[in-house]
Structure formats: C-alpha cells, structure tokens
Structure 1
Amino acid sequence: NSYVSETIYAWAWGDTEYSSFEVNNEGNVTIKTDKEQYNTGEDIKLLFTTPFEGRMLITLERDKVIKHLFLSTENKSASYTLKAEEMLVPNVYVTATLFRPMDDSQMPLTVAHGFRSVKVENKESKLAVSITSTEKSRSKTKQTIKVKTAPNAFVTIAAVDEGILQVKNFKTPDAYNYFYQKVALSTKSYDVYPYLMPEIKTRMSSTGGDGADESAMRANPLFVNRIKNVSFWSGIKQADANGNVSYDIDIPQFSGDIRVMALAYKQKGFGSAEEHMKVADPVVISTALPRFFSPSDEAVVGVTISNTTDKEMSANVDINVTGPLSKGNSAPQTIKIPANKEQRVVYNMSANSAIGAGKVTISVKAINETFTNETEIAVRPPAGLQKQFTSGQVKAGNDQPVDISNKFIAASARGKLVVSKSPLTAFTKDITDLVRYPYGCVEQTTSTVFPQLYYYDLVKSISKTEDGDMNPGYNVRQAILKLQSMQMSNGALTYWPGGGYESWWGTIYACHFLLEAKKAGYPVNNRTIERIQDYLVQMLKAKKTIVLYYNLNDKKEVAAKEVAYSLFVLALAGNPQHSTMNFYKAHPEILSIDSKYLLAAAYAISGQKQKVAEILPREFAGEESKSTFSGSFYSYIRDLAISLYALQEIDPDHPQVAVLSRLLSEKMRISQYMNTQEKAFGILAMGKIAQRANKTKATATVTANGKNIGSTNGDNLSIDLKPYMGQSIKMKVNGTGSYYFFAETSGITADGSFKEEDSYLRARRYFYTRSGKQITDNTFRQNDLIVVQLTLEAQYNTNIENVVLTDILPAGLEIENTRLNSMPDIDWIKNKSEADYEDFRDDRVNLFTSADGNKKFFYYMVRAVSPGTFKLGPVQADAMYNGAFHSYNGAGEIKVLQK
C-alpha cells in the first residue's frame, strides 16, 4: 500500500452566516414552491431566499394586485403559506421586493426583486369527453357518432377529412388548455430607490404577453364543387341528463381517414377528444378528368378501378354525363380485376358549345353491388366575360326603350336594370366596377368600399342577387379588417397584402376611409389610425416634391400630392399640422391646383375658416394634369373630383360647387375608361350632389314585351334581366321630375371571340421543354413538364405601372411548380423577371408588374395531364388604371397526346 499527501497553507479574512440552502448573491430574491402545480383548496408553500436581510413586500398579482403583505427575513430567508383559491386559476404571480435596512453593511444593493408564476388548477373545470364511433366504414353510408361528457353540457362535434386538416397541420381544439393557459403578468412595478440611492443591479420589467402573435373577375366565373370535401359540423348540441350526445353523418363518395373531434363546455368547464374513422370500399374508382373544360374541348378520360379485396372480381364499367358534356360513342366495358390490383379503362368525351356546370358519373357493377364516382366539372369560357352597358334619364310623361340586345350564349347571359331617382345612377357602371374590382392592393381595396360606406341603398340595388358577398355593411367591415392587417411597423400600409413596401398615398387614402367608417359607426382600431397619423406627420417633415406633367407639354416641380391630402386627412382626424399648413400657405407656387383645395379644406376643418379665401383657387382651371399609374395616381378627373369633394366637405353651397359638378359629370360621362381613383372620388363627389338634389315626385314603370315587370314610387328599383333576355324592355315615368336608369348585361359570345390587338402594351406567350427547346406546334405528350414563358413590354418606350398579366390555362394542363429555381434542368433561364405580386389559380395565372421599353420575361411550369384537344385562350395584359393600355394575343388550341 502507498499514498500521496500534500499540504497547502492559505490565509483569508471574512465572515459568514449559516444557511442550509443556496442563497442568491446577485440582488435577486429566489422564490421556490413545494410543488409545480396546485389544485384549488391545497396549500401553496412558498420559500424566499434573499441576498441580504431586510423587510420584504410580498404581492399576489396578475392583471391587478390581488393581495399584499410584509415579511421579515431571518437567516436570509422567509416562508409563507397561502390557500389555492379559485381566483388564482389558472396562475398567479408571486412577487417579492426586499428592502435593505440602513446598517453599516458594505453591500452596494439597497433593494432586491423576485417573482414566480404559480399554476393553480380546478379539476372541476376539466370535463371528461369520450367519443364512440365505428373504426371502419364504407362510403355513402350513415354513421352515428356518440359523445359522453358531463350531464347537460354543451357539445359541438366535427368530422373532417384528415387530409384537409394536415394541409395546415390543424390540431384538435383543446378549449381547456386555451382558456386556462398561463396568463401574462400585466401589472408594472415601480420603486423610488434608484432616485434616492445608486443601485448597481439593473431592474427587470414585467413580462410581456406577445405569445399570441405566433399562436372577380380574373378568376374562373363558373364555380363548381368539383371535389366534395368531407367536412361535417353538428352545431351546438346539449347533452342529456346522463351526458350523452349523438350526431349522424352521411359519408359521401370518399376513401381515406376521417378525424372525429368533440368539444364540450359547461359553465367554466371545458374538455375535448378525438377519434379516427377509416373509410374504404371493396371497389375504389379514380377518374382522371381535367380540372375544367372549355366549349368544344375533347378529352380522353382514364378511369382506374381498384379491387381492395383478396379475391378476383369481374366488373362492368359505364360512363354517363349531364350538363354541357357529351360522352360520344363511349359504351360500357367489362373487365377482370385481380385481387388487390387495379385495372384502367378509357373513354372519350367532349364539351358542348355552351358553358355551365356538368357532371361525370362512373358506375361499376361488381360483387352484386353498384359503385359510383361523381365529379362536377365546369365548362368555362376560353376567354373572359364581355359586358355591355346603357344608361339614361327619363323625364315625366315619357317612355323610353332600354336596349339589352346581345349575342351572348343563353346560358351565360345575365343582366340587371337599376331605376332610381338619384342622378348618381348614371354612374352605376363605375360603382359596379368598383364593388366588384378583383385586385387586392391597398388603393383598390379602399376604392371598393368607400362608395359602399355612403351609398348603401344604391350599392345594394345594383348588386346581383347571386352575388352573395355583395352586402355593403359586411364588405366595409371586412375591408377595415384587411386594411388594419396591412399595417407595417412604421405605421404605413403596404401596397399589397403581405408586401414589403409601403404606399404613402394608399396609407392616406385608407386612413381617410377608416375615419369616415368610424364616424359611420363601424368598429375601427384607434391604434391603427394613431399609428398612421404618426407616419403621416413623419412623412410631412421631408417636404417631398415631384415633377408634375400637365396640359400639353408643361411641367413644374410641386409639393407631392400626398402632402396636401395628408394635411386634409390629419385635420379630419383632429390632428391638424398648423406649422406645415402655414408653410405651404406661404408658398402657394409649389402647390398643384387640387392641393390648394385640400389645404383650404384642412384650414376650414381645423377651425381657421378665415384663411380659406387666402388659399382657395377662384376656379379649377389652367392646370390639366397628365395621368400617372403609380405614386398618388393623379389625373385630371381625379384632381377635379377630389377638389369638389373637399370643397363640399367645408361649404356645400359654395358657388364653385355647381360649376365643378357640371364639369366633373361631363368628364366622367364621356370618358371611355376611368381608373379606380377617378371612379371612387368621382362617385364620392357626385354622390354628395345627388343627395342634395334628390327631389323627384314621380313614379316609374318597367315593362318587358308590354308586361309590367317592376314599378317604384321613389325607392330604388332593381330588376334581374336574365328572364327577359331577347325581349323589348321599356321604361315609363309619370308625375313630376325624372328617373335615371342603368342596365348592364354580360355573357360569353357563342364563338368565344375577342379582338386580338396591342394597345401601348405587347404581351406574348411561348412554350418550352424543360431543357429549353421551344415548342412551336402546341402539341404535348401526357406527363410532359412544360415551361411557359410570358413576355411583356411597353410600346413607344413608355413606362406603364400597375399592369396585370393574365394567362388562362387550357384544360389538359395543370400548374406544376411556381418555384422554377427549385426544379432541375432549367438552368437555361437567365433572364427571369420578378412580379410585384403573383396570383396562381387552378385555371389561370395573374402577375402584377410594370412595363417599359425593355422586355420582361416571366416563367411558370405546367404539366400535361389529360390527353385530348383543348381550347387555348389569349394571354392578356391590362393596365389596371387605364383600360386603353392593353394587349390580347395568342388564342388557339393545344393537343395532349396519350403517353
């Protein structure tokens, strides 16, 4: 045996005190509990360990101070026991503030802090829930779901396809953990010690509660429910005295997994559960149909029949169609299907010349049963809808024909006639375009709903009965929510939803709308408006200028149009910027004519009416601005309309009102196309005139082929014209005064024809193989991957912003992958342009961008999935703010050959 030893000598001085547990020496009070969680009625034992001796303030807090008391420490510790009461559910914060006595200690700390969250649970609040349902089922059967929970509890049951739920990783709702989740500490603590004596340790603030942030017409006009989603909801049911609830579901044509979810609640108690139901048939039918058809399309339809049993079976397969579809000479076929195998049969079918919804039904007779598979499919136009409009005024004692003649396919033709005593009816086309406008940027969203805020009755009258979302009140509320969601960290609103860049004009415009919506009684988040105001005030400090192009070839540097509009809207918000207003009043030479009207209105609204005359122009003349497609979207009509609107806001009886209204009305009447800014402000300005001038005391009657189809004594009259297409429509007025009418008809021409032309824009479409070889004959093979190239350029070397490039896919092709960079073998693409916004649909692609003299190239991929011959629509480019700028090119047909 051996050992090694070593002796070390050390000397030090100090003192200590006995402690049987670890003490924090960093200026924090450590709080410990004997359990992680408590049930109501139990004792909560708290142990405090402190860095020094002293007197300690103990509080129980959450959204307020529930209780407080004082403890004195001994041996740098203290303890306290409290009862877990109901008021402490789901958690309570125990805070400790320790004060050091004025002794001779050299410790630099004067105060120490600590807090701890203590979880408290009430077992009676957690309801037991169990689900009883069959584990396996066949399709097209009725199944009963039974739920057991607390007596007389309220229960809601849902049964949903698991595949749908997995798209967004949807979890079964857990109401108990939601309502009894940990609550953030929302009180703040303060002390004056740092102001009396210096303190080394920085203090901690209360914890935050930001976890919740984690937790038209360019679409296909014909919607069919092609895929029958399995989704059932029971509504709210009440359990009986034994806690039992049952719910019956009729399982449709379906194969897969259904998740059954149940949620129960009773008073302050909650509970939830889930079970799964497997749905499978002995015979499973899969139909390879295109997603849609166009008139005269021809397709080869493959049908796969799967035998899920362990025995061979003989099957008779047949196809039937309804609607604008034809199965041609397709006859029933008999096949043999081995056990646990599948067989494929092929049918030829086509779309007729009409458009509408059709249905394809595959029937399989096997093992003494008949199995069916039904698919709804839309026969949609290869080109867009066309519209016709007419409007006019009928004076008392006269009758007038209303021309609704057209060449539309009967199934597609529809229309509406609006009769009103309001002269605003003359601009119904513009209102209609606005309330249906399909694009979702901040400017267009606001333009869509601003007229609906003021002219509820007229908007309601012009909306078609089949437009279920045309409820003005609902639309305004939805727009408010959407605009609020577009706010950035600096208070501005993004131009596009989810976009990364702001729009100064769009932000002002949206704020104007939100202020008026709030005045009209709609719920608006005050914080949103406050943050916008902060942003506008900040932007005004830059005193930004622009070059204004006006008259024929004139230009000058002026204050940005956003400046005066910001001052006007801030004044409306009760936040006038007097110093900035005075600056521009002193420099009228840098203000455009419409900016002067807005600045004058800002002075009047802010209570300084004596300054209006100093800045208000004597007439709206001498400056006819050119149209611009970005920034503030100014144009002569918009400038005129916003000036008239501002003037009526402060003095509706001003002599200029009559002059400006006549001028604006004439400009709007003769304009072939107006952008959304011109329409919105034009309608807002003319609407104020219409409301004051509405004094008609007459009756109006509308007839179709001599038969009375509607009459009015003053209320707005709306008539669906679909039943009267092809008939002679007349309108007669009796009494004194006048009525105004507006008729709109829309539909698809029988041949799907359109005018192919380039007007200021040039758009083209080309097909390539994935290796980069151009396909010139529009012929593809099934399963081929195809690269679609869209090109866009402006003619005459002009710059055109806010252009939408639309490519309508033919049936037989489906969008494969929009992220080309992730696909192999396409490194030959070197010139790919990026769109400002992309909208990919089942049957079309919308790209939002700008155009100039340099050609832009856009790409996306499609796959040839359905053999056949299909109509190919044109590629379209439209300037969103000027319909005269457009391009339509490249219609024809494609062929997809069988593999």
Structure 2
Amino acid sequence: MRDLYGQLIDRMIGVPGVVRSGGDGSGLNRLDGTPPTEKLVSFYQGPVKVDADGKVRAEVEIPDFNGTVRVMAMAWSKAGIGHAEQDVVIRDPVVVTASLPAFLAPGDASRLLLDVTHLDGPSGEMSMRVSAEGGAVSVDAAAASRSFTLTDKAKTQLLVPISGVAVGDAAIRVVLTTPDGKDLVKELALGVRANDPPVMRESTVALDARSGRITLASDLFSDFQPGSAAGTVMVGGVGGIDLPGLVRALDRYPYGCAEQITSRALPLVYLDDVILAAGLAGETPVKERVQQAITEVLENQSSTGAFGLWAPGSGDLWLDAYVTDFLTRAREKGYAVPATAFDLAVTNLSNQMSYAADFTSGGEDVAYALYVLARNGRASIGDLRYYAEVKLDAFASPLAKAQVGAALALYGDKPRAAAAFRNAVGSLGTTDAGGWRSDYGSRLRDGAAILTLVSETGTDGPDADALARDVVAASSAQRYLSTQEKAWMLLAANGLLSGAGRPDLGVDGAPFEGVFTRALTPEALAAAPLTIENRGERRVEAKVTVRGAPVTPEPAGGTGYSLHRSYYDLDGFEVDPAAIQLGERLVTVLTVTVNRAEQARLVVDDPLPAGLAIDNPNLLASADVAKIAGLDLTNSAARTEFRSDRFIAALDLSGSATTEIRLGYMVRAIAPGVFAHPAALVEDMYRPEQRGWTDTGRIEIIGPVR
C-alpha cells in the first residue's frame, strides 16, 4: 500500500513505476513465436468484501493441470494489513504428462510421448485417444487410439508418431478414459513454423487506360511453402512506391536495435490507413505499436540523453538525432512521450552541437542534429546559415545537405533552403558507391529522405516528381532493402499522398475510386480470385508483393560474406548432424568469412531444427564453450540472443584484416525424429545485398518414435 520502489526505477525516463529493464524488455522478437505447449495457470481476483463470518469465497476455473499451485491472499482494513499463502496439489486420479518438440516444420516427423501414472481411483483397462485439429499437424492413425491395462499406482509410457503438415498452430487433444468411464482430457498446442530465410518477390503490372486488367489467384503462392507466405497488392499508388509491401516487410523484420525499432515505428506515426491495408489490422493496433516502440527505444537511453544501439550508451550522434526525430514526430502526433526523457534527448543534441568539431568532409550527424533541433525550435539560425553558406559542400552525404535546407525552411529562410535542396539533389548521383557509411545510409535512403523533406517543407526548387521516379527506379533495381531505406520510402510516400491522383478502378466488377490496397493470402485467393481493372483515362500500375519461405531453398552462397555451420561434441571433434543421439549435447559453430575488409554491422541468424534446443545459454556467457579444445571461437559479438527457435548474434566489423569470425553455442537433442535444418544467414543490416547463407538440410535424432 505504501511501496515507493517504483520511484527508484529508471528515474531519468521520467515515468515512475514503469519497469524498463526486465529480461523480456528488449522487444526484439519480431518473428512468430511458438505457442506455449500447455495453458498457464495464473489467476487474479480483485478486491472483495468479507462476509459476516470474516470469510471470502473465490471460484477459479483451473484448466487441464496436474501439479502444485500456490494460493496467495492479501487482506486489509483501516486497522491493519496482512497476507497468507498456501500450496495446493491439483491432479487427476490418473495423471497424463506430455512431452513433445517445441515446434515442428512442414515435413518433420517426431512423436508425442505420454507418461501415464495411476494415483487413485479404479485401476485396470483404460483407453487413450489422440487427435489434432487445425490441419497443421497429423497424428499417426494406427497409434492414435489404443487400450492398455494400468494396475494400482503403476506407470506406463505411450508413443504417438506425429508430423508437421503446414505452417500454423495445431491443437492436440488427448482423452484418457478410466475404468469407471470418466474422460480425462489434456489439451496441448504445437506450432508448425517454416524457419527458412524468407524471400520477397515483387512484380509490377501496367494497367492501360480503360482496358487494363489483372487477376490474382492462389497460384501466386505456388513457389512458397504452404502457410508461410502472404502478400499485398496496390494499384494506383503514390509515385509507384509499394506502401503496404514496405509496411509489411518492416513489420516482419526480426531484429531490434534502437535504429531498427525506430525505423519500424517511424512510418506508423503517419500511415495508419496503409497499415490496415497491409493486412495487419488483426494484430496489435497501430497506436499501441508506436507507443510500445517509444517505450522500447527509451530502454536504450542513457542518463545523458544519448542512445545506444543495443543498450544504453553514447557516442553516436546520428543515432541520437534519428531516435529524437522519431520521438519528436510521435509527440507532434499526440503520442505520450515522457517529458523528462524527451527533454534529455533534445538537450543531448544541443549540448553536443555546442562543442561539435569542425570538418572538411563528413558532418552527417551535425546536419541531422541541426534539423531535429530546428524542428523543436532550439536551433540557432546563425549556425544554420553558417553551415548553408560556408560548409554545405563539406557535408559528405546528400541527405545532410537536405537536412540543413529543411532546418532553414522550418525557420522560414526559403531561398537558402531551396539552394541547399538543389545542391543535395545534384549530389545524389556523385556520392556513395555502396560502401560503409556511419549514418546507416545509402544512395537510395538519401534520395527517399530528401524527397520526404522536400514534400514536408513544401520547398520549391527540386523537382519532386523526378526525384520520386528516381527513388522508385533505384528501389526496383535492388533485391533487398535496409530498414533505413524502407522507412524513408514510406515517409516519402506519406509526403506525396496529398498530391496523388485518384484512379478510377473496378474491383471484382464493383466500382472503386482511389488507391486500392489489399492483403493477399492463399486461402482467400483460392476461395475467390481477385480481379482489378482500370476504368480511368490514364494508365496506372499494380504492384504485387509476396513474402514467405520458398519451396526450393537457394543453395549455399553469398556476396561479400560466406557462412559455414558445423557441429562438435564436447571433446572438440566434429559430428555429423545426420545422426544424433537423443539427449546428446553438441556445440554449434558458425564461421563467418569476410571477403571485403571494411566496416559493417552484421547480424547472424541461425534457426534451429525442431529437435534441438539451446542448452543453458549461461554456459556461453561464462566462456565454457570457448574453452573446448580445437574450436578457436572468437568473442566478438556485440549482442547475442538465445530464442526458443534460433540463435542470433550482432557483429560490428572494424574494417581490419580480420577475415574469419567463429561463434559457438551449445544445443541439446530434445526429441527424436527427422527434422528440417533451415539455412543460417549472415547479412549486413544496412547493405542487405551483402550477405551469406548455408545450405539447408535435414537432421535425424535417434530415439524411439512409436
């Protein structure tokens, strides 16, 4: 009642009582996780008044559960306060305990292990029935129903073969009938996931005036694993930018440093309608996503107001400006940004600008900080004019020049702003050959960001239509886009929305006016193909994007990097994963070979086969794995994550002569069967075309399955 502990948590954030540093506070898990196998038992009842006898009765519906629960109660009055607790055993007369893999992939074969223990009640002949609903998992018909005899206080084990069919969540139902005719029901959940690295395929179809037509059917997904793919279609979009496709790609990005959290959330501040069109309406509402991103990104803020990439830190002024730009825009749109944290972030930029060093080439962080300060009314107009008149050509990126121009436009100096924008657009084609950039950028990102700033400030001078065409053409020429490129393209589209024309379309025969967007699924198109026709007087384009796990994975390869995955026993000898004993512990070793000596921010993503689980991640933290002879592991990861279905590591390359990085972690064989072994991936997060990946395959864990 009088607890003040909340006042002590993260006081620099400015919101008392909000814990921002828990073990699950990183917000990094962007992939679809597997469901819990059994229902959690945790219930709460609010305050109730005691009856005349001083007692309170509470009824709780306990789900299928065998074990011990703790009942806790707190009571208070004007005179005092107290609490009590007691453990209570809850169980069936015959207890059924299930063991199954954490998840499956389509085509995997394993087993459901059922331990049956008689505790009380009638003993004798019993029967068991196992079934699966949802179509994701199939149960072996011969083993799904059986009878057996269980004597008093005896135990037995039953094995039921199961296999993964399609991506989805399966409900497995186990019914035990006791000798007296009672049915004891156990309900389990098992997820089927395609963890292969997803691919995205885009196509553009021109619809001629008054005659253009496109029909989309379920064969659109024929090259993808069932249940793994989804898509979007947009007709008559803004400048040819694939709004819903970009939104969905950003939303599915599975990693979460401060830059990536910001990039995912920044477009959501403006594009509510586009989010709905991208098929995300049934998930977390847009406003909650942005608010959650604000909370997550503030977890990486230090007491100085600066931001770290993976944890609270400082030293990256461009990242500070980027996150503060997001907080500023969210605040302008009415989102709740803690005042103390926001003021610290803006003051940090102001303080760093007070002692910013002079430069002859560079200054990308200085320009961004000036722009964000101007947006908050805290920039010096004298500084802005100095950088525009004296230092403009010294800025190393076109975006930096445009940000100086945008800052001047916000202060009403349109002539200097227009000159800075023209300089920025003119330098787009003369800089950036695809190498390392400290500002997370690329030529495409700069073009999209300049288009955003031109549209938002309404500055005359640059040809926004021509710039939009160049940005779309550059985007179409790239197979992969970084989070920066996606985020700024979406912001550019938002800036152009007000001037977009409204095409005249027909959708499945019904008239439709305006930009048409829709999420696509195999089930919906199988039930009814989608036909879109152009009824207007001008040609429009239909952009179709599909993303999922391919039926035929690509063979091992890469550009700029290569990746090799191998397994070793605890004595340091290499092991063939085609035959692993149940319960065996192995060390997975990932070897990244660097083919170009330059700085980079890499992420390594190694999906697990369903029969393996990461075994005690703390062992890696204590360097026990590195002590195994012959592995020669390097401890160079900036960040590691041990998820239920994958291992992830972030690497910062310094550009030195290092040509090989070896990472290791321990796994254990937890379920017998044959399992898909997805490809591991290494990629440069901000030059995603620079990547490497391993072969896919299958592993077998040897143990009884029936």
Residue 623 of structure 1 corresponds to: 430
In structure 2, what is the equivalent of residue 143 of structure 1? none
2:667 aligned with 1:862, yes or no?
A: yes
Question: Which string of whole-angstrom CA distances, capped at 9 and with x for unpartnered residues, describes residues 229-270 of structure 1?
Answer: 113345787889999875533211112233345578999999
Report the counterpart of residue 109 of structure 2 in structure 1. 298
1:478 corresponding residue in structure 2: 292
Residue number among 170, 185, 191 corresponding to 1:358 in the alignment? 170
Among candidates 436, 439, 444, match of residue 252 of structure 2 = 436
Tell me the distance in 1 between the aligned counterparts of 2:280 and 2:667: 35
Q: TM-score, normalised by structure 1?
A: 0.67
Is 2:474 aligned against 1:667? yes
SS at match of 1:858: strand
CA change 1:672–1:773 in 2 (3 A) is closer
Cα distance in structure 1, aligned partners of 2:400 and 2:229:
45
2:279 alignment partner AA: S
Q: Which residue of 1 aligns with 2:373?
A: 570
* Maintained 8 Å contact 1:423/1:690: no
Out of 433, 446, 449, which is 1:642 matched to? 449
What is the deviation of 1:783? 1.5
Structure 2 SS opposite 1:804: strand
Spell out, residue by residue over 1:590-618, the C-alpha distance to the aligned partner (whole angstroms, 9 max, x if none).
Answer: 22343333223323323445644675545
Q: 1:846 aligns with which of 637, 643, 648?
A: 648
Query: How far 1:872 moved relative to its partner?
Result: 1.5
Unmatched runs of 5 consecutive residues or more in structure 2: 9-14
Distance between the aligned counterparts of 1:375 and 1:232, measured in 2? 20
Equivalent residue number for residue 553 of structure 1: none
Contact 2:101 2:670 in 1 (8 A): yes
Partner of residue 766, structure 1: 566
C-alpha distance in 2, partners of 1:458/1:183?
39
2:11 alignment partner in structure 1: none
Question: Is residue 891 of structure 1 aligned with residue 696 of structure 2?
Answer: yes
What is the SS of the residue equivalent to 2:221? coil
| Separation of aligned partners in 2, 1:755 and 1:297 | 20
Aligned to 1:177: 2
TM-score normalized by the length of structure 2: 0.84
Given candidates 511, 521, 529, the residue that maps to 2:334 is 521
Q: Aligned equivalents of 1:728 and 1:612: distance in 2?
A: 49
Structure with the bigger RCO (C-alpha within 8 Å, sep 6+) is: 2
AA aligned opposite 2:221? N
CA distance in structure 1 between the aligned counterparts of 2:130 and 2:270, rounded to whole angstroms: 54
The structural deviation recorded for 1:634 is: 2.5
Instruction: Work out whether 1:596 is the aligned partner of 2:401.
Output: yes
CA distance in 2, matches of 1:638, 1:212: 35
Summarize the Cα distance change of 1:757–1:580 in structure 2 as closer, same or farther, 3 Å threshold.
same
Give the structure 2 partner of residue 832 of structure 1.
634
Counterparts in 2 of 1:714-863, with a 5 A limit? 714=514, 717-718=517-518, 720-721=520-521, 722-725=523-526, 728-735=529-536, 741-749=542-550, 751=551, 753-776=553-576, 778-795=578-595, 797-799=596-598, 801-820=600-619, 822=622, 826-828=627-629, 829-850=631-652, 853-863=658-668
| Letter aligned with residue 214 of structure 2 | P
Report matched runs for 1:865-876 at 5 Å: 865-876=670-681
1:644 aligned counterpart, secondary structure: helix
Assess, with a 3 A threshold, how the Cα gap between structure 1 residues 587 and 875 changes in structure 2: closer, same or farther. Answer: closer
Whole-Å separation in 2 of the counterparts to 1:378 and 1:752: 22
User: What is the SS of the residue equivalent to 2:349?
Assistant: helix
Aligned length: 676
> How far apart are 1:786 and its partner, in Å?
1.0
Letter in 2 for 1:892: G
Answer with 392-401 or 373-382: which moved more. 392-401
Q: In structure 2, how many angstroms separate the alpha carbons of the residues matched to 1:266 and 1:415?
A: 58
Secondary structure at the aligned position of 1:344 is classed as strand
Q: Supply the distance in 1 between the matched residues of 2:575 and 2:155 (Cα, whole angstroms).
A: 35
Q: Identify which of 282, 296, 301 aligns with 1:487.
A: 301
Structure 1 counterpart SS, 2:535: strand
What CA distance in whole angstroms lies between the structure 2 residues aligned with 1:502 and 1:458?
35
Contact kept in structure 2, 1:426 and 1:740, CA below 8 Å: no
CA-CA distance at 1:436 after TM superposition: 3.3
Higher percent of residues as helix: 2
**Shift of the alpha carbon at 1:416?**
3.8
Q: CA deviation at 1:558?
A: 0.7
Higher CA-based Rg = 1
Which of the pair is proportionally richer in strand?
A: 1
Q: Distance in 1 between matches of 2:299 and 2:307?
A: 9
Deviation at 1:328, TM superposition (A): 5.2
Residues 1:308 and 2:119 aligned together = yes
- Paired AA for residue 170 in structure 2: G
CA distance in 2, matches of 1:785, 1:816: 8
Q: Are the equivalent residues in 2 in contact too, given 1:630–1:802 (CA < 8 A)?
A: no
Q: Which runs of 5+ in 1 are unaligned?
A: 1-175, 185-208, 547-556
How has the CA–CA distance of structure 1 residues 741 and 425 changed in structure 2, closer, same or farther, with 3 Å as cutoff? farther
1:878 and 2:683 are equivalent in the alignment: yes
My pick for the range that moved more, 232-241 or 587-596, is 232-241
SS of corresponding position for 2:361:
strand
Q: CA RMSD in A?
A: 3.9
Equivalent pair of 2:6/2:16 in contact (CA under 8 Å): no
Which of 510, 513, 532 is the matching residue for 1:713? 513
Q: Which amino acid aligns with 2:347?
A: D
> Matched residues in 1 for 2:505 and 2:115: separation?
61
**Residues 25-424 of structure 1 correspond to what in structure 2 (within 5 A)?**
176-178=1-3, 221=32, 223-234=34-45, 247-261=58-72, 276-309=87-120, 315-317=126-128, 319-322=130-133, 323=135, 324-327=137-140, 329-330=142-143, 332-337=146-151, 339=153, 342-347=155-160, 349-368=161-180, 369-381=182-194, 383-392=196-205, 394=207, 396-403=209-216, 405-407=220-222, 408-419=224-235, 422-423=238-239
Give the distance between the partners of 2:598 and 2:157, measured in 1 at CA.
54
Of 364, 385, 390 in structure 2, the residue corresponding to residue 586 of structure 1 is 390
Aligned partner letter, 1:252: P
The one-letter code of the counterpart of 1:285 is V
Cα deviations across residues 675-711 of structure 1 (Å, max 9, x unaligned)? 22222223323431232x2342x542222xxxx4x65
Q: What are the residue-to-residue correspondences of 1:526-545 with 2, within 5 Å?
A: 526-544=339-357
| Alignment counterpart, residue 683 of structure 1, candidates 490, 499, 507 | 490
Q: Secondary structure at the match of 2:472?
A: helix
Change (3 A) 1:596 1:381: closer
- How many Å separate the matches in 1 of 2:297 and 2:557? 37
Alpha-carbon separation, structure 2, partners of 1:450 and 1:424: 20
Kept in 1: contact 2:454–2:464 (CA 8 A) = yes
Please give the per-residue CA displacement for 1:265-318, whole angstroms capped at 9, x wherever unaligned: 999999876555321222221222111122332224432222334997665455
2:567/2:577 contact within 8 Å kept? no
Decide whether the 8 Å contact of 2:243 with 2:493 is kept in 1.
no
| Cα distance change of structure 1 residues 558 and 465 upon mapping to structure 2, 3 Å threshold | same
